[in-house]
């Protein structure tokens, strides 16, 4: 059994650092700064211009190569089974396995704690009545879940969701086999800059049980995923979409929650700036992607997120949007799983 946590931090650097054309823009600025001094004749000017162009081209090529190597899209958390265990425990494979939820009717159940921080008040809503606040937050949770369960070509569908339940204790997140969202539970993982995080417990063998949950039937199966929002930083506040425009210094609750639910489904981070799984939160007063609508409930996601979801939870009956797996395979990594299965 393995536990891991993924954190989400605010974006504290300019967007152009990761833009696809940022190298050209920065190179243009650099080229515009000529060194001091001059060359007296036309031949010297021509040579200087040639050197400058060659240097600029070299820098552009170097930057382009670096971008190709450094920028990776969607990725998944993975776990490696211990093949020294019996096949009935390890699954008979030594290959890394992407962490995942079991998918079936009502299999992905989520609950959330209605305990909200009041000092400071960290969740801002448009409706200020006690019942209205809870309903507004619950709508955000439902829309965030809907973003992931309405992607064409994925086996994760609205029918995969269990009933969204409410619980009252503030400290409802823990190793109990339940997927829980907590808004007022302190945790030592809230180091400076961390807005929210997801703690995931994954089975590294068949038959692992956590709390009241059922024993694992697959290696890599997520047994518990809890989402924590920072409840005690007076400089960090979250707002529902209805309240965001009136609170431009607040972080968008829907964007952050949709990101954290991606971790609960098995995603790691993406280097694609526009992706929901990019590790830094959108700036206060802004949100990721587009708001979900009845026509496009997965609007907050980017194509990188959708493609990753189709790989992780592919629909074998969908021939239009199915994509080949880019994950780790025995053949590509030459790990000993196939050999062991044949012995």
| Residue 267 or residue 333, greater confidence | 267
Beta bridge partners of 181: 112, 227
The answer on 178 and 56 residing in a single domain is no
How far apart are the C-alpha atoms of 284 and 172, rounded to whole Å? Answer: 28
Q: Return the closest-CA partner of residue 156 out of 280, 5, 275, 301.
A: 301
How far apart are the C-alpha atoms of 155 and 159, rounded to whole Å? Answer: 10
| Residue 329 or residue 281, greater confidence | 281
Supply the pTM of this predicted model: 0.77
Query: Is it the case that residue 149 has pLDDT exceeding 80?
Result: yes
How far apart are the C-alpha atoms of 90 and 98, rounded to whole Å? Answer: 14
Least confident of 9-23, 92-106, 164-178: 9-23
Averaged pLDDT for residues 255-269: 98
How far apart are the C-alpha atoms of 314 and 320, rounded to whole Å? Answer: 12
175 and 210 in contact (C-beta within 8 Å)?
yes
Q: What is the pLDDT of residue 326?
A: 44
How far apart are the C-alpha atoms of 218 and 141, rounded to whole Å? Answer: 28
In a domain, 29, yes or no: yes
In a domain, 337, yes or no: no
The answer on 210 and 64 residing in a single domain is no
Q: Is 207 left (phi over 0), alpha (psi -120 to 50) or beta?
A: left
Beta bridge partners of 272: none
Q: Which two tokens stand for residue 227?
A: 């989402």
Averaged pLDDT for residues 317-329: 57
Q: What is the pLDDT of residue 92?
A: 77
Q: What is the pLDDT of residue 146?
A: 98
**Residues 200-238 pLDDT 10s:** 999 999 999 999 899 999 999 999 999 999 998 989 999
The answer on 306 and 160 residing in a single domain is yes
Q: How many domains does one find in the chain?
A: 2
Whether omega for the bond prior to residue 97 falls within 30 degrees of 0, making it cis, is no
Which value, in Å, is the radius of gyration of the alpha carbons in the chain? 24
**Residues 241-253 pLDDT 10s:** 999 999 999 999 9
Averaged pLDDT for residues 20-29: 24
In a domain, 30, yes or no: yes
How far apart are the C-alpha atoms of 309 and 277, rounded to whole Å? Answer: 11
Q: Other CB atoms closer than 10 Å to residue 324's CB: what's the count?
A: 8
Q: What is the pLDDT of residue 181?
A: 98
The answer on 157 and 66 residing in a single domain is no
How far apart are the C-alpha atoms of 153 and 319, rounded to whole Å? Answer: 8
Q: What is the pLDDT of residue 81?
A: 86
Domain span at residue 180 reads: 2-10+74-331
Q: For position 153, which CATH number holds? A: 3.40.390.10
Q: What is the pLDDT of residue 47?
A: 53
The answer on 139 and 62 residing in a single domain is no
Averaged pLDDT for residues 136-143: 98
Q: What is the pLDDT of residue 320?
A: 63
Query: Is it the case that residue 74 has pLDDT exceeding 90?
Result: yes
Q: What is the pLDDT of residue 85?
A: 83
In a domain, 139, yes or no: yes
The answer on 310 and 194 residing in a single domain is yes
Q: pLDDT averaged over the chain? A: 79
Query: Is it the case that residue 110 has pLDDT exceeding 90?
Result: yes
- The percentage of residues in the chain with a pLDDT greater than 90, rounded to a whole number, is 63
φ, ψ at 57 (rounded to 5°): -65, -45
The answer on 90 and 44 residing in a single domain is no
* Residues whose CB falls within 8 Å of the CB of residue 209, separated by 6 or more in sequence, listed in order: 177, 215, 216, 223
Query: Is it the case that residue 29 has pLDDT exceeding 50?
Result: no
Three-state SS sequence of the chain: CEEEEEEEEECCCCHHHHCCCHHHHHHHHHHCCCCCCCCCCHHHHHHHHHHHHHHHHHHHHHHHHHHHHHCCCCCECEECCCCCCCHHHHCCCCCCEECECCCCCCCECEEEECCCCECCECEECCCCCHHHHHHHHHHHHHHHHHHHHCCCCECCCHHHECCCEEECCCCCCCCCCCEEEECCCCCCCCCCCCCEEEEEEECCCCCCCCCCCCCCCCCCEEEEEEEEECCCCCCCCEECHHHHCCCCCCEEHHHHHHHHHHHHCCECCCCCCCCCCCCEECCCCCCCCCCCCCCCCCCCCCHHHHHHHHHHCECCCCCCCCCCCCCCCHHHHCCCHHHHHHC
The answer on 100 and 62 residing in a single domain is no
Query: Is it the case that residue 334 has pLDDT exceeding 50?
Result: no
Least confident of 146-155, 224-233, 277-286, 321-330: 321-330
Q: Which two tokens stand for residue 86?
A: 């019996």
In a domain, 283, yes or no: yes
The answer on 316 and 298 residing in a single domain is yes
In a domain, 282, yes or no: yes
**Local confidence band at 9 (pLDDT 50, 70, 90 cut-offs):** low
In a domain, 55, yes or no: yes
The answer on 122 and 65 residing in a single domain is no
In a domain, 16, yes or no: no
**Local confidence band at 260 (pLDDT 50, 70, 90 cut-offs):** very high
The answer on 78 and 48 residing in a single domain is no
Q: What is the pLDDT of residue 84?
A: 82
The answer on 228 and 136 residing in a single domain is yes
**Local confidence band at 169 (pLDDT 50, 70, 90 cut-offs):** very high
């Amino acid at each position: 059994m393995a536990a891991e946590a993924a954190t989400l931090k605010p974006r504290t650097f300019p967007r152009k650092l990761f833009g696809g054309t940022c190298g050209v823009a920065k190179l243009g600025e650099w080229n515009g700064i000529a060194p001091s001094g001059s060359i007296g004749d036309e031949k010297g000017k021509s040579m200087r211009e040639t050197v400058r162009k060659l240097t600029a081209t070299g820098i552009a090529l170097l930057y382009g190569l670096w971008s190709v190597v450094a920028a990776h899209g969607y990725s998944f958390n993975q776990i490696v089974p211990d093949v020294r265990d019996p096949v009935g425990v390890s699954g008979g494979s030594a290959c890394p396995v992407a962490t995942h939820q079991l998918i079936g009717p009502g299999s992905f159940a989520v609950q959330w704690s209605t305990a909200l921080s009041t000092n400071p008040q960290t969740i801002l809503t448009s409706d200020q009545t006690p019942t209205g606040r809870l309903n507004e937050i619950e709508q955000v949770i439902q829309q965030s879940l809907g973003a992931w369960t309405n992607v064409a070509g994925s086996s994760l569908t609205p029918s995969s969701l269990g009933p969204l339940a409410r619980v009252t204790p503030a400290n409802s997140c823990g190793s109990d086999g339940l997927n829980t969202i907590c808004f007022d539970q302190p945790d030592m993982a809230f180091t400076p800059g961390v807005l929210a995080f997801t703690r995931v417990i994954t089975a590294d063998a068949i038959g692992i049980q956590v709390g009241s949950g059922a024993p694992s039937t697959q290696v890599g199966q997520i047994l518990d995923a809890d989402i924590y929002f920072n409840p005690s930083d007076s400089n960090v506040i979250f707002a529902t979409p209805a309240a965001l425009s009136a609170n431009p210094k607040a972080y968008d609750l829907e964007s952050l929650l949709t990101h954290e639910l991606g971790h609960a489904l098995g995603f790691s981070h993406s280097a694609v700036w526009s992706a929901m799984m990019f590790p830094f939160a959108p700036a206060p007063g802004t949100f990721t992607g587009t708001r979900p609508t009845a026509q496009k409930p997965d609007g907050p996601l980017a194509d990188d997120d959708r493609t990753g979801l189709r790989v992780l939870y592919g629909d074998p009956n969908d021939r239009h949007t199915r994509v080949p797996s880019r994950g780790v395979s025995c053949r590509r990594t030459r790990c000993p799983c196939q050999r062991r299965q044949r012995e």
